[in-house]
């Protein structure tokens, strides 16, 4: 696999690369510094700070490349080994890297006050005058947000997003050990993740004022149908006033029998039709099915229900499904929010 690390000045991408190299068997792939300067067009001050990067055998090593494509090609031919780079600097390069299933983009961020402190410490160690906070913030803004070359385009697309507020290298290393970035499962969603994400995608089409719900029916790892909740065809959508009950904002469960909205599970079951739902069919839903959906799920012969979030009648639904011989399982996909790298105290 190839891990690309990106992030703001002194966020910690080199520290993380160094950890992967020392503790997890990764090797560093670098771009020739001339390429780097040309692409990033960094001002002299920035180059001074870049000079503090890990550059032991720079320009003399086999692992330094003239272009990003040469670097990518090298990693492609050796995908079973572990590679890391911190040299992806522009969006079109990143797009080409993200096309490859052996590539994982990891972003690292940290509070600007902490990054300034880390940068100042680094300057002191090199007997240079550190910039004041204002100057550092200006560099930082340019580095992240400058049109066309700003790094925020890269960090926005990261598959794993880290927040490195750790106060020491030991603390950072401990967090990274627990996190295990080298886990190959991060490269590709497993089947549960894949179908649950499809259910969440379907939920985005929901028009019900009460709650967005999405559902996917699967057999032998193939999608049979999808559904989301809302009013039936030809009726005004719930979010356009189609269901008076939902639009009144009554509390959960109040006036349920007057609701005109079909549930996501109902829509997916109706769409599939009974013939296509046979032994082994799995229903993925981002919310645990309600009672009226549960009895329909039991009746059409679904074998297993997988849901990600609880609802307000989970215990009752679970009892019905158990009695009907339908397996019920909760699976919540890993969130893609910020992962905090800091002590757990
Ligand atoms: Zn509704
Ligand atoms: Zn309704
Ligand atoms: Zn329901």
Q: 221: CA distance to ligand 3 center in Å? A: 23
Q: Is 30 considered catalytic here?
A: no
Give the pLDDT mean for 286-314.
Answer: 94
The predicted structure's pLDDT at residue 337:
76
* pLDDT value of residue 345: 46
Beta strand ranges found along 198-338 (DSSP E): 214-219, 222-228, 282-287, 304-309, 327-330
Q: How confident is the model at residue 39 (pLDDT cuts 50, 70, 90)?
A: low
| Ligand number, closest to the Cα atom of 237 | 1
Could you tell me which of 150, 162, 166 has the C-alpha nearest to residue 118? 166
Distance 288 CA to ligand 3 centre (A): 8
How far does the centroid of ligand 2 lie from the alpha carbon of residue 310, in Å? 20
Å from CA of 311 to ligand 1 middle: 16
Q: Taking residues 148-157, what's their average pLDDT?
A: 88
Strands of 2-7's sheet, edge to edge? 27-28, 83-85, 2-7, 103-109, 160-163, 339-340
Mean pLDDT of 83-111: 95
For the chain, what percent of residues have pLDDT higher than 70? 92
- Distance (angstroms) between ligand 1 centre and the Cα of 94 equals 41
The better pLDDT of the pair 36, 33 is held by 33
8 A C-beta contact, residue 256 and residue 190: no
Calculate how far, in angstroms, residue 266's C-alpha sits from the geometric centre of ligand 3: 7
pTM of the model: 0.84
pLDDT at 185: 87
How is residue 246 written in tokens?
């939902």
**pLDDT > 90 in the chain, percent:** 75
**Ligand located closest to 264 CA:** 3
| C-alpha distance from residue 26 to each of 1, 81, 182, 229, 338 (Å) | 9, 8, 9, 47, 24
Centre of ligand 2 from the C-alpha of residue 133, in Å: 54
Distance between Cα 286 and ligand 3 center (Å): 12
Which listed ligand is nearest to 312 at the C-alpha? 3
Instruction: Tell me, in angstroms, the distance from the centre of ligand 3 to residue 207's CA.
Output: 15
Nearest to 179 by CA among 307, 9, 12, 331: 12
**Average of per-residue pLDDT across 286-302:** 95
The helix (H) or strand (E) run that includes residue 296 is helix 291-300
Q: Given the residues 171, 265, 271, 316, select the one marked as catalytic.
A: 265
Q: How far is the CA of 287 from the centre of ligand 2 (A)?
A: 17
Q: Closest Cα partner for 168 from 343, 345, 338?
A: 343
Query: Does residue 297 carry a pLDDT above 70?
Result: yes
Q: Please report which ligand is nearest the Cα atom of 268.
A: 3
Task: Tell me: pLDDT of 92 over 80.
Answer: yes
Question: Of the bound ligands, which one is closest to the alpha carbon of residue 229?
Answer: 1
pLDDT in tens, 154-189: 999 999 999 999 888 999 999 999 999 999 889 999
Predicted local confidence at residue 253, as pLDDT: 73
Query: Which ligand is the nearest neighbour of the Cα of 289?
Result: 3
């Amino acid at each position: 696999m190839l891990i690309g690390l990106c992030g703001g000045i002194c966020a910690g991408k080199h520290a993380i690369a160094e950890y992967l190299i020392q503790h997890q068997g990764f090797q560093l792939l670098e771009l020739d510094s001339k390429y780097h300067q040309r692409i990033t067009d960094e001002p002299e001050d920035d180059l001074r700070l870049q000079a503090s990067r890990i550059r032991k055998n720079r320009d003399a090593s086999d692992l330094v490349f003239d272009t990003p494509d040469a670097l990518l090609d090298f990693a492609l031919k050796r995908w079973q080994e572990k590679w890391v780079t911190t040299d992806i600097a522009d969006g079109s390069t990143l797009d080409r890297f993200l096309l490859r299933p052996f590539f994982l983009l990891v972003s690292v961020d940290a509070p600007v006050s902490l990054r300034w402190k880390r940068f100042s410490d680094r300057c002191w160690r090199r007997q240079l005058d550190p910039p004041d906070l204002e100057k550092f913030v200006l560099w930082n803004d340019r580095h992240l947000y400058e049109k066309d070359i700003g790094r925020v385009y890269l960090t926005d697309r990261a598959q794993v997003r880290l927040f490195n507020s750790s106060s020491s290298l030991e603390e950072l290393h401990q967090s990274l050990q627990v996190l295990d970035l080298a886990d190959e499962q991060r490269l590709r969603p497993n089947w549960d993740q894949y179908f649950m994400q499809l259910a969440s995608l379907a939920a985005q089409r929901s028009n019900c004022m009460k709650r967005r719900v999405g559902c996917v029916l699967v057999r032998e790892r193939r999608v049979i149908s999808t559904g989301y909740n809302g009013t039936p065809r030809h009726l005004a959508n719930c979010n356009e006033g189609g269901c008076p009950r939902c639009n009144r904002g009554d509390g959960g469960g109040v006036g349920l029998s007057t609701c005109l909205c079909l549930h996501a599970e109902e829509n997916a079951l109706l769409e599939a039709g009974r013939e296509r739902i046979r032994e082994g069919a799995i229903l993925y839903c981002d919310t645990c099915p309600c009672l009226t959906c549960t009895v329909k799920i039991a009746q059409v012969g679904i074998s297993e229900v997988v849901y990600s979030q609880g609802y307000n009648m989970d215990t009752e639904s679970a009892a019905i499904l158990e009695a009907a011989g339908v397996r019920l399982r909760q699976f919540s996909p890993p969130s893609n929010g910020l992962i905090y790298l800091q002590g757990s105290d």
